[in-house]
Amino acid sequence: MSTLKEKLHKKIIEHRPRTTKLLKDYGDKVIAKVTVEQVIGGMRGIKSLITDISYLDPYEGIRYRGYTLQEVLKKLPKAKGAEMPYVEGLYYLLLTGEIPAQNEVEDLIIDFNNRRIVPRYVWDVIDSFPSESHPMAILSAAVMSLERESHFNIKYKQGMNKKDYWNSTYEDATNLLAKMPLIGAYIYNKLYHPERGHRYPDPSLDFGANFAYMMGKDKPYDDVSRMYFIIHADHESGNVSAHTGHLVASSLSDVYYATSAMINGLAGPLHGLANQEVLRWLQGLIDLTHGKLPSKDELKAYVWKTLNSGQVIPGYGHAVLRKTDPRYTVQREFCLKHLPNDNIFKYVDALYNVVPDILKEHGKAKNPWPNVDAQSGVVQWHYGVTQYDFYTVLFAIGRSIGVLSNIIWDRALGYPLERPKSITTNMLEEMVQSKEELSHSAH
């Protein structure tokens, strides 16, 4: 057993009695109430999911296993001369709650490298996609095609004990995660740089550096990739991609089905696709102003025009956050250090100074502050990844780290099939109306 898997096993054994006790001793204790607004309004804020991998505070932002993003970036081991930590170290942290030592991450990098071989049929599936297909549709199908490799399915058919579900799920999850950057880079090269042919991975490189190598990018794109995958990894359980992954896996569908489904959820413009929408929206503004940074009044007019035409401002607002997203701030700090004079960065920064006040005046969005997607495309564009349709694939590679970690723990703690109850509009009306109103409406 690898060091990580051994440690994980120990943590699972330690954790199980906590879940058992909660269920046995406090199973019927009420911890929250549900309002009509929440039922109609997409279940906002209903405390009905459990995860220890990450927690999202509305005012502070995300914490991974109790660590803020700044702490994660500071504490996780790094390659020599690197600014950003190894992505493999984050997987270790999310699974165990512990910051790994340098040698533990190095072991894991070797383990990941051994799992990188992608069957040829995956390339065939990608190659067979018709032109103009969206990279997220291709990614989802490529992951789905790998389903036949599932260890979980083989073991399940052989009659596996429930207590062992986590073990083959760990194997499936780590196998898939190791392959995700290769699949992403292959899609990129096929769609936008077919002249490059098939680039093979470099076994001497870690997750982020190998991705940069396969994308044909020099330093500091290795750090850009590490930063990108780490900050997008998890955002607790209720967001569309994480929740979809969890929901699908709860029926004991294997991680290939669950990850493909989470990719499909991430591909919507209100969620992960917003990073592509931000760049599309920014390009509209840049074209309008012929690349010359507009005045504050011109910016305001552009923002109002978008709002008045009934569209959302991409990259702003959030279902949970009520302040500037720390994932935005991490990327902004990277931009200030590495690309302070980048023209698009200047546009993004200028918008930061006008959009929140406008959204407040507009009076609809509960959170007028920027989210992760407002900033992420700018970094990619600066380093030559200008094909913004591809940005959500990068998000998906990162998000798979958190979703897969969660699924392993879901299996370890025996979380059941997810199955909430729905009601009809008639039932809801009856629940809220007083007896008098009911008899009145009956006449």
* Interface with ligand CMX (CB under 6 A): 239, 270-272, 274, 307, 312-319, 364-367, 371-373
Give the whole-angstrom CA distance, residue 74 versus residue 245.
29
Closest CA to 123 of 200, 208, 211: 200
Partners of 64 in the beta sheet? 54, 67
Q: With contact defined as beta carbons under 8 Å apart, do 169 and 152 qualify?
A: yes
CA atoms within 13 A on the CB side of 160: 17
CB of 312 to ligand CMX, least distance (A): 4
9 is catalytic: no
Apex 40 CA angle, 59 and 33, nearest 5: 65
Distances (CA, A) of 384 to 192, 221, 236, 282, 377: 11, 10, 31, 16, 11
| 239 vs 375 by CB, closer to ligand CMX | 239
b/e code 362-374 from CB counts within 10 Å (16+ = b): eeebebbbbbbbb
| 165 vs 328 by CB, closer to ligand CMX | 328
| 257 vs 316 by CB, closer to ligand CMX | 316
Alpha helices in 237-321 (DSSP H): 240-250, 255-266, 274-288, 296-308
| Concatenated DSSP letters of 400-440 | HHHHHHHHHHHHHTT----------HHHHHHHHS-HHHHHH
172, 318, 325, 410: the catalytic one is: 318
Closest CA to 377 of 296, 315, 439: 315
CB of 283 to ligand CMX, least distance (A): 16
- Using CB positions, name the residue nearest to ligand CMX: 317
CB of 140 to ligand CMX, least distance (A): 17
CB of 316 to ligand CMX, least distance (A): 4
| 100 vs 272 by CB, closer to ligand CMX | 272
| 141 vs 312 by CB, closer to ligand CMX | 312
Q: With contact defined as beta carbons under 8 Å apart, do 269 and 391 qualify?
A: no
| 113 vs 406 by CB, closer to ligand CMX | 406
CB of 269 to ligand CMX, least distance (A): 7
| 47 vs 163 by CB, closer to ligand CMX | 47
Q: To which residue do tokens 């600066």 refer?
A: 382
Give the helix/strand (H/E) hosting 62.
strand 61-64
232, 246, 271, 382: the catalytic one is: 271
318 is catalytic: yes
CB of 200 to ligand CMX, least distance (A): 32
Give the whole-angstrom CA distance, residue 219 versus residue 421.
51
CB of 110 to ligand CMX, least distance (A): 33
| 78 vs 232 by CB, closer to ligand CMX | 232
Q: Residues 6 or more apart from 146 whose CB is under 8 A from it?
A: 119, 122, 176, 179, 256
Give the whole-angstrom CA distance, residue 124 versus residue 129.
9
271 is catalytic: yes
CB of 394 to ligand CMX, least distance (A): 12
Q: With contact defined as beta carbons under 8 Å apart, do 442 and 434 qualify?
A: no
Q: With contact defined as beta carbons under 8 Å apart, do 343 and 306 qualify?
A: no
Active site residues: 271, 318, 373
